Each structure stands twice: as structure tokens, then as C-alpha cells.
Amino acid sequence: MKTFNTAGPTRPDEHYTVPTLARWDMDEIRRLIGEKRYFVLHAPRQTGKTSCLLALMEQLNAEEDYAALYANLEPAQSARGDVREGMRTIVSGIAENARRYLGDRRLEDWTEEAFRTAGSHGALRRLLARWAEENDRPIVLLLDEVDSLVGDTLISLLRQIRAGYPDRPGSFPQTVLLCGVRDVRDYRIHNGDKQVITGGSAFNIKSESE
């Protein structure tokens, strides 16, 4: 028996729902991915963002042109400004989801090497670069709840993604989508030197969920 759901991602076999990706302009999403864009999507809570991201991952993987992976970054929120703990949580979550959704265990095997050689401020970039270089399809990375991150952990995430951006798609994901309640490009963060940090020019397109 199906029910109405407001407590998380909807499942078509369990919940009443409209076609998930019908809410998005899929032609526009495909254009952005095809043009190797990095972009931001934001909307209020309980508007179906996560359900849409999961559906997008499933559809892109079924079409076999890209390796699409969803990851929720909210578990790293509790690390706050502790970059070491925050990045370990983020990297471990991405590696775990690669195994779960794509059957790809390589990222779990590469995690310790990434931290050993690149440290907390470079491990994510190192891991994604190696994955892109050794994968047979361009990578589309869908990061949810990005704006839940706090302080230096968010700064490190954005800087590592921005640093890898010029190397796409052969040595970094072709597309990275940052999703959350707030537009992370407008989320001003001050580091220890009171400098303002934002998402940078890599994220020069904003899409709003409806």
C-alpha cells in the first residue's frame, strides 16, 4: 500500500509521487553535463532535491554514457572546522556509495593512499583524480547537503574541487553538482585570517529546483 512521504527521498514503489525528473529541465541538465559544467542547485527543504538527485544518478548510469554518483555530505557537519575528520567522513562516504551504487570497490581501496600522499586538504582531489583517470566513463558527481558543512571543512571541499576543475574530464569528474538549501556561492565563510572564501569561478551557473 502506497503512502504520502515527507520524511526523505520518495520511492515510487512505496510512495505516491509524480515522475521525479519531470520537475527539472532535463535538456538543460544534460547540456550542462555535456559542456563539462560545475553548477549549483538549491531549494527549500522537502521539495524533492534528494529524490531528484537519486533519480538522475540512476538514469545517467542506465544510459551508460557517464558514471554518476550521489553522496550526502551532511554526516560531516559534526566535524565543523576539523578538516581532518570532516574530509575523512566525506571521502569515506563517497567511497562507500561508489561501492553501493556502482559496485566499484576501488575507491575504498584507494582512500588511505589518498590521505597518506595528499593529506586532509588534498585527499578528496587525489581520490577523484585517480578515479577519473582509471574509470572507463566520465564521472558526474552529485553532492547533496553541501551547505550543511561548516568553516574550514567547507573551505577545503570547495578548494579541492576548484583545484581539480581544470583537469576534467580525464583527471577529474566531468561535472560536479552542489546541492543544498542555500546557494553555496553566496555563503560567505571567513577563515582564520578573516579572508572571505566562496565557491570560486568553477561554480558559475546556478539552477533552482522547483
Question: What are the pLDDT digits (tens) for 9-50?
Answer: 565 566 445 567 777 788 999 999 999 999 888 665 656 688
Q: Report yes or no on 165 lying in a domain.
A: yes
Report pLDDT for 134. Answer: 98
Q: Report yes or no on 4 lying in a domain.
A: no
How large is the average pLDDT for residues 2-9?
Answer: 54
Secondary-structure percent of the chain, ordered helix, strand, coil, rounded to 5: 50, 15, 35
Over 60: is that where the pLDDT of 201 sits?
Answer: no
Largest CA distance in the chain: 56
| Start-end of H helices in the chain | 26-34, 49-63, 83-102, 106-118, 123-134, 151-164
- Domain containing 54: what range? 32-208
Please state the domain count of the chain: 1
Q: Report yes or no on 192 lying in a domain.
A: yes
Q: Report yes or no on 134 lying in a domain.
A: yes
Report pLDDT for 191. Answer: 42
At CA 210, angle to CA 72 and CA 162, rounded to 5?
45
Q: Which pTM was predicted? A: 0.82
Q: Report yes or no on 12 lying in a domain.
A: no
User: Residue 128: which residues within 8 A CB-CB, separation 6 or more?
Assistant: 139, 141, 164, 172, 173
Report pLDDT for 196. Answer: 43
CB atoms within 10 A of CB 63: 10
Q: Report yes or no on 69 lying in a domain.
A: yes
Report pLDDT for 195. Answer: 46
Report the CATH number that the domain containing residue 178 is assigned in CATH.
3.40.50.300
Q: Report yes or no on 14 lying in a domain.
A: no
Q: How far apart are CA 154 and CA 80, in angstroms?
A: 9
Share of residues in the chain with pLDDT > 90 (%): 61
Report pLDDT for 59. Answer: 95
Q: Report yes or no on 1 lying in a domain.
A: no
